[in-house]
Amino acid sequence: PRHLLGLADLGPDAIEQILETADAMRQVFDRPVKKFPTLRGRVVVNLFYEPSTRTRTSFELAAKALSADVVNVAVAQSSVVKGESLVDTARTYQALGTDYLVVRHASAGVPHLLARTVQVRVLNAGDGAHEHPTQGLLDLYTIRRRKGRISGLNVLIVGDVLHSRVARSDIWGLRKLGAHVAVAGPSTLMPVGLETLGVRRFDRLDEALEWAEVINVLRIQRERMQRGYLPSLREYRLRWGLTDERLRRLPEDVLIMHPGPANVGVEIDEAVLVDGRSAVAEQVTNGVAVRMAVLYLMAGREGEAG
């Protein structure tokens, strides 16, 4: 596709193609020179209006591994603070020769607006509580590498589903590839209408953990809760946290994930993060290969020479 806006827009074949291409992209890390020439002469701009560690850095590493030139916009030092609009900012980067605009924004729909407005390829790096498609893809990729399949697996998403763009992209991707998906968390942090996506809901975490083969723990997004429900963190951990004590009751072959950054000691304990059943570090590593795959495939025929 010309843009990557969300997994709701992608069919199962397109998702499979990205996961297979990510496998090929991993080979770059075994090479003496860790670069493919595919995007030589192309410009990738990272335009992040919200903080990021993993997504911004891995897009930068992915673009550099494909030999692109990368610009990281420091929004707080840009003309955005003088009042330049989002669309005018994007037009400015188009005029500067941008080929790919990677955008993160607190408002849902911003990447879609830019895709309609500017003549560059737009990649959604997280828009409000809507979608985070490359996180969804790296989660699918990680599950398939660790469990050997996605179809038929029981995947549990725990916590603040309401504010989570990761949960939305994961649900779209997992359902399209045939996984069974369930959620568990406080009723105040559950969106309405999940059942229309074929998602089951558990009212008790311990019952859900008995069902799950993969557990994806979400961050409580306190920065998005000013007007809503802010649980007591101690109570949250006791009822919905993946604690050391709960970890000891989980089977040896369970897979534990968290998109990061984590509120350690609230939704997940330190002992869980470093346990052998956790793929949290691997998720971050896989993010580079998956983002390389997406950039490569979006280059289309122009990228074939590389």
Q: In whole angstroms, what is the distance from residue 285 CA to residue 306 CA? A: 23
Q: With respect to ligand CP, which residue has the nearer C-beta, 186 or 260?
A: 260
Which chain residues interact with ligand CP by CB under 6 A? Answer: 52-55, 126, 135, 259-261
User: Coil, strand, or helix at residue 133?
Assistant: helix
**Cα Rg, the chain, nearest whole Å:** 19
146 is in an annotated binding site: no
Q: With respect to ligand CP, which residue has the nearer C-beta, 191 or 260?
A: 260
Cite the DSSP H helix spans in the chain: 12-25, 54-65, 86-95, 110-117, 133-147, 165-176, 205-211, 233-240, 244-248, 270-273, 280-299
Q: With respect to ligand CP, which residue has the nearer C-beta, 159 or 259?
A: 259
104 is in an annotated binding site: yes
Q: How far is the CB of 119 from ligand CP (least distance, A)?
A: 27
Q: With respect to ligand CP, which residue has the nearer C-beta, 202 or 267?
A: 267
165 is in an annotated binding site: yes
Q: Which residue has the tokens 């992040």?
A: 48
* Number of separate helices (H) and strands (E) present in the chain: 11, 9
With contact defined as beta carbons under 8 Å apart, do 124 and 248 qualify?
no
Q: In whole angstroms, what is the distance from residue 161 CA to residue 10 CA? A: 21
User: Coil, strand, or helix at residue 139?
Assistant: helix
55 is in an annotated binding site: yes
82 is in an annotated binding site: yes
With CB atoms as reference, the residue minimizing the distance to ligand CP is: 55
Q: How far is the CB of 196 from ligand CP (least distance, A)?
A: 26
Q: How far is the CB of 106 from ligand CP (least distance, A)?
A: 12
Q: How far is the CB of 262 from ligand CP (least distance, A)?
A: 10
Q: In whole angstroms, what is the distance from residue 272 CA to residue 191 CA? A: 27
Q: With respect to ligand CP, which residue has the nearer C-beta, 99 or 127?
A: 127
54 is in an annotated binding site: yes
Q: How far is the CB of 306 from ligand CP (least distance, A)?
A: 27
26 is in an annotated binding site: no
Q: In whole angstroms, what is the distance from residue 141 CA to residue 149 CA? A: 10
Output the known binding site for carbamoyl phosphate. 54-55, 104, 132, 135, 260-261
* Residue list for the binding site for L-aspartate: 82, 165, 219
